[in-house]
Every structure is written in C-alpha cells, then in structure tokens.
C-alpha cells in the first residue's frame, strides 16, 4: 500500500478519536486494529436477544464528556437515569445504618489520603486497621481502580477524584456501539496485529501480521500492559515510554451478565452488594435499563482468580445472589455473557492505575518521540484515566500534535 500520513495502532476510543480528527483534516490515515472489531475495551455484546456492555458502560463526567456530546450527532440515545451506586444499596444483608457507616468510613479514608505527607504515596498506608470497614474499602478500590490499595498511588487516585464531575449517563444502544459508529469515516484494517515499529528510516515502518506498512507518523494507543510486555517492539528512543507503561499497569474489572426469567421483586436500576463485610465480593446492577438482566461486577485479585476457571465467576455470583435473594433465584437466572479482560491478549486488563511513587508516568507516556511517534489512550490522561472520555481526549491531543509537527516541518 502507499505510505500513509498517519498510522494509528489500536482502534479503541483513543484511536477512533485521533482517526476522526486526522481523516477530517484530509490526511491519509489508517486505523490498525489487532482484533476483529472496533472499540477496544468498549464492547457492546449481544445474547438472548438483548445487548449489554461488557466493557465500559458509563459516560462518566457526562456533562463534559465528548462521547456524550457526540452521541446525538450519531443517532444514539442518552439515558440520564441516576446510577445505582449513587443511592443506597438494596437493604439485603446491608442494613441502612451499616451503609451509612461504610460511606462515612470511605469519606474518612479519602480525607486521610488528602492529608498524607508528601513522602507517602501508597494508599494502603492510610488504612485504619481498627476500622471494621477496611474490607469494604478494599472492595471499593477493586471496583474503582481495578486493584487493591497496596498497588495504588495516592497522588494518582486524587488527581482523578478531583476531576470527576459526578455526572454519569449511559448510551441506550451501548457505549461500545457508539465508539464503533464514530469510526465510520475512518479507514480501518481489522485483524492486523502490529508487532514492531522501526524508526531508523525516513518513514516509520510497521511490521504487521498482514505485511509492512509505512507512515510518516504513528500514534500508538494500545493498553499499557501490551506495551510493557514488549508486544510491540518500539524504537530504542521510546524506552522511557515502555518504563512509564510498566508503572501504569492495568487493573482488572470483569462483568458477568445473567438473564432473569422472572423480574418480579427486582426493581429496575437498583444495586446490591454481595457481602459488604469482606473484600472478595461482587456488586450487582439489577435490571439495567429496566431489562431482564443482572450485571455482576468484580475487580482486582478476585477477578483474576475467577478468570482462571471459565465457570468460577458464574458459580461465585450465583452463590452470592442466592445468599441475598434465597436459593430460588438460581432457577430464574441464566448466565449469557462474561468478560475476561485479563485474558484478552490485546488488552491484558481493564484500566490503568499508577503504582505508588509513579503518578508522573502518565505525562511521560503521553510525550512524543522525535515528533514522529505519538502515544494516546486512557493511561496517558493525567486526570481522566480509566475512562473512554479520557482516551478520547488524549487521542484528540495526539492528532493535534501530529498536525502541529507537520505544519512546523512544512514551514522549515
């Protein structure tokens, strides 16, 4: 094929955002995607006549989220129903008084994080061992960050907490479908893993499963664990980026979807917690969008353990739900889908967190190499990491940087 102006490695939210902007600028652009679909860690799946998001599902900070602004333009409907975690859990094994105490414990913990001395950056160091809600705080971290507090940078966590507007909406047709639809005017090569990028010549040369591709500039948007693993051989001058990716590992959060044969007793868009008194537990979104579904969500070490056995998550979730609703619930539930993000070779996890002492790695990863090799993705965002809108913003920033370097060189 003819040399490209820009090759974009990875057709997730960042790659799509970059591709849209550059294609609209008239450049020869190609989105190069290793898998057979567009969307990356956004994936709307189908089962038993229903659709659901196995990846990101919420438009976080929706009042300033570019995907929320783009959705109506592409014919998608926004659902502004209050998320279930914004109200009380169902009072099943978690009395209202205990819920209030648990939320108060979380508020105290966040305050201790904000008051941590400059030399302290490990979130687990701010736990109060005497507090009965410590397991609850660990469980929340696995949902929010995909990892336990021992692996979490305080500075990094607070950077996101300060940026979150607290407005959360959904896409009725699916977040994954929205991101895929946004790529409609961008050339895409699916099923084309990139294994190396060579910067020794005038053009950058990408080695792919379908042959070599040349491009004047490249934007890499793949997840950090793929970069850190050496899944793509990068030029020697990108060694700092590989180190930064290693300091920004992906946590893990997985979903399991059950279909309900009888919705009696299940109020739409409510939530229960499997066991609020232990760290190894899942949360359950009951009847999202009013559909006959239950969406289970588990993170961190528990998710990795449950991924190891194909049927373990379903059995675990059924046990927790039976403990909440009674054994009769088992006959009303049918597992129809499950994510295993840690076992997807081109993802290897769900969303990034900075290891203690490495919050600055995000800015390093977002830098370019010689004005020719650029990076984008949720891990490159210093405030909106772990989100599809953070990925969008970094993809757009990389695209604009590409255009700026082209303009500068044309003027020389």
Nearest residue to 196 via CA among 23, 391, 7? 7
Contact call for residues 351 and 253 (beta carbons, < 8 A): yes
pLDDT in tens, 242-283: 999 999 999 999 999 999 999 998 999 999 999 999 999 999
pLDDT in tens, 331-382: 999 999 999 999 999 999 999 999 999 999 999 999 999 999 999 999 999 9
Between the CA of residue 356 and those of 30, 125, 150, 151, 304, what are the distances in Å? 37, 11, 8, 6, 21
Banded pLDDT at 412 (limits 50, 70, 90):
low
> Which distant-in-sequence residues (6+ apart) come within 8 Å of 237 by Cβ?
199, 369, 370
Integer-rounded Cα Rg, in Å, for the chain is: 22
- Structure confidence at residue 92 (pLDDT): 83
- Structure confidence at residue 280 (pLDDT): 97
Q: Residue 164 gets which letter from DSSP?
A: -
Give me the residue spans of the domains in the chain.
Answer: 4-44+55-79+172-249+352-411
Q: What architecture is domain 4-44+55-79+172-249+352-411?
A: 3-Layer(bba) Sandwich (3.50)
For the entire predicted model, the pTM comes to 0.96
In angstroms, the CA 76 to CA 74 distance is 6
Nearest residue to 51 via CA among 239, 409, 358, 295? 295
In angstroms, the CA 100 to CA 280 distance is 21
The H helix count followed by the E strand count for the chain is 12, 18
- Give the mean pLDDT of the chain: 96
Alpha-carbon 406 to chain mean position: 31
Mean per-residue pLDDT for 20-26?
97
- Structure confidence at residue 88 (pLDDT): 62
**What percentage of the chain carries pLDDT values higher than 90?**
93
In angstroms, the CA 410 to CA 412 distance is 6
Between the CA of residue 383 and those of 195, 352, 389, what are the distances in Å? 30, 12, 11
**Concatenated DSSP letters for 78-119?**
EE-PPPGGGSPPPSSSS-HHHHHHHHHHHHHHHHHHHT--TT
- Structure confidence at residue 90 (pLDDT): 73
**In the predicted structure, residue 89 carries a pLDDT above the cut 80:** no
- Structure confidence at residue 331 (pLDDT): 97
Q: Which residues pair with 57 in a beta bridge?
A: none
């Amino acid at each position: 094929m003819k040399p490209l102006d820009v090759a974009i490695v990875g057709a997730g939210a960042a790659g799509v955002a970059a591709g849209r902007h550059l294609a609209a600028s008239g450049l020869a652009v190609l989105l190069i995607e290793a898998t057979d679909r567009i969307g990356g860690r956004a994936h709307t799946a189908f089962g038993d006549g229903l659709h659901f998001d196995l990846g990101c599902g919420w438009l976080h900070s929706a009042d300033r989220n570019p995907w929320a602004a783009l959705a109506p333009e592409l014919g998608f409907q926004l659902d502004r129903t209050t998320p279930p975690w914004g109200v009380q859990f169902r009072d099943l094994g978690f009395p209202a008084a205990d819920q209030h105490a648990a939320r108060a414990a979380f508020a105290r913990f966040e305050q201790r994080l904000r008051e941590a001395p400059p030399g302290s950056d490990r979130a687990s160091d701010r736990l109060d061992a005497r507090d009965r809600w410590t397991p609850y705080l660990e469980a929340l971290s696995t949902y929010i960050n995909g990892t336990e507090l021992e692996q979490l940078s305080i500075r990094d966590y607070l950077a996101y907490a300060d940026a979150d507007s607290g407005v959360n909406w959904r896409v009725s047709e699916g977040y994954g479908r929205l991101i895929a639809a946004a790529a409609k005017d961008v050339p895409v090569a699916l099923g084309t893993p990139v294994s190396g990028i060579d910067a020794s010549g005038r053009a950058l040369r990408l080695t792919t499963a379908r042959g070599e591709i040349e491009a004047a500039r490249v934007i890499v948007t793949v997840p950090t664990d793929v970069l850190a693993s050496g899944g793509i051989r990068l030029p020697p001058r990108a060694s700092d980026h590989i180190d930064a990716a290693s300091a920004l590992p992906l946590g893990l959060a997985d979903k399991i979807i059950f279909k309900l044969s009888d919705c009696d007793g299940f109020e739409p868009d409510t939530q229960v917690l499997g066991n609020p008194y232990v760290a190894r537990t899942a949360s359950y979104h009951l009847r999202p969008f009013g559909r006959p579904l239950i969406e289970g969500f588990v993170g961190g070490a528990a998710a990795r353990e449950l991924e190891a056995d194909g049927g373990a998550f379903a059995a675990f979730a059924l046990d927790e739900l039976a403990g909440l609703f009674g054994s009769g619930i088992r006959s009303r539930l049918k597992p129809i889908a499950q994510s295993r993000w840690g076992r997807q070779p081109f993802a290897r996890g769900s969303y990034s967190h900075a290891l203690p002492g490495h919050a600055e790695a995000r800015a390093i990863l977002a830098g370019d190499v010689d004005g020719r090799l650029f990076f984008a993705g949720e891990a490159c965002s210093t405030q909106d990491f772990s989100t599809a809108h953070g990925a969008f913003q970094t993809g757009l920033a990389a695209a604009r940087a590409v255009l700026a370097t082209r303009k500068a060189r044309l003027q020389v």
